[in-house]
Amino acid sequence: MDSATVLYGAKAEGCQCYAISFDYQQRHRRELEAARDIAAAAGVEDHQIVSFDLRSWGGSALTDANLDVPEGRSTEDMAAGVPITYVPARNTIFLSFALGYAEAIAADEVRIGANAIDYSGYPDCRPDYLEAMQEVYRLGTKQGREGNPITIVSPLVRMTKGDIVRLGNDLGVPWEKTWSCYTGGETACGVCDACQLRLKGFREAGVEDTIVYTGK
């Protein structure tokens, strides 16, 4: 829902949009189907899906089938520490691929749906991390060294999930095409951290969440 809102916001600003998604053999690969549908609905210029396999590294419930995805946690528990669903250095990996793609097509910006308000405590979703990566973007590219660095734009980083739903609703985000669940089922579980934060956002915004949840 966050990435879709960022995409539709860029489209509303008149940006020429290129999308990049990542198939790292995550448990919730169902999100890639959603990404394809959203990119097509938004009419992006190109949608790249980069494939690599992080399962052999372990270290996360999203890549290791032997680890359970946490369920039923409170938002206070989510914010208290880094959960087992954290994939080591995932946003650094993603932003590195995105940087290469952006420079190859001479893009001005890389937009990311990182959020540091209603989130699961991930270290790579926070403003100080994104500021540090901006310096990497400046120093590590030809564009950056020539004085035209690619800018990391994170429009949702200080927004609540309720704010994001309100914004996405105004932008016409097709919520029925979006996917948040971590568990990898055919329908969203409704109890993992991602589902609970999503549902919290829709409740706060007073907007109906039209995807199907298990047991509903």
Ordered structural domains, the chain, with CATH: 2-205 (3.40.50.620)
Q: What is the DSSP string of 155-199?
A: TTTT--HHHHHHHHHHHT--GGG----SS--SSB-S-BHHHHHHH
pLDDT higher than 70, residue 216: no
> What is the arithmetic mean of pLDDT over 165-192?
96
Tens-place pLDDT, residues 110-135: 999 999 987 778 999 999 999 999 99
Take residue 52 and report the two structure tokens written for it.
Answer: 């690599």
Angle at which helices 2-12 and 161-171 pack, to 10 degrees? 40
- Is the Cα torsion angle 20, 26, 28, 30 positive or negative in sign? positive
Phi, psi of 213 (to 5 degrees): -110, 145
Tens-place pLDDT, residues 1-55: 999 999 999 999 999 999 999 999 999 999 999 999 999 999 999 999 999 999 9
Q: Give me the pLDDT at residue 119, please.
A: 74
pTM for the whole structure: 0.94
Are the C-beta atoms of 189 and 215 separated by less than 8 Å?
no
The SS3 assignment for 137 reads helix
Q: Can you point out the beta strands (E) in 1-155?
A: 18-23, 46-51, 109-111, 151-153
pLDDT higher than 70, residue 215: no
Dist. CA 193–CA 67, nearest whole Å:
15
Dist. CA 19–CA 154, nearest whole Å:
15
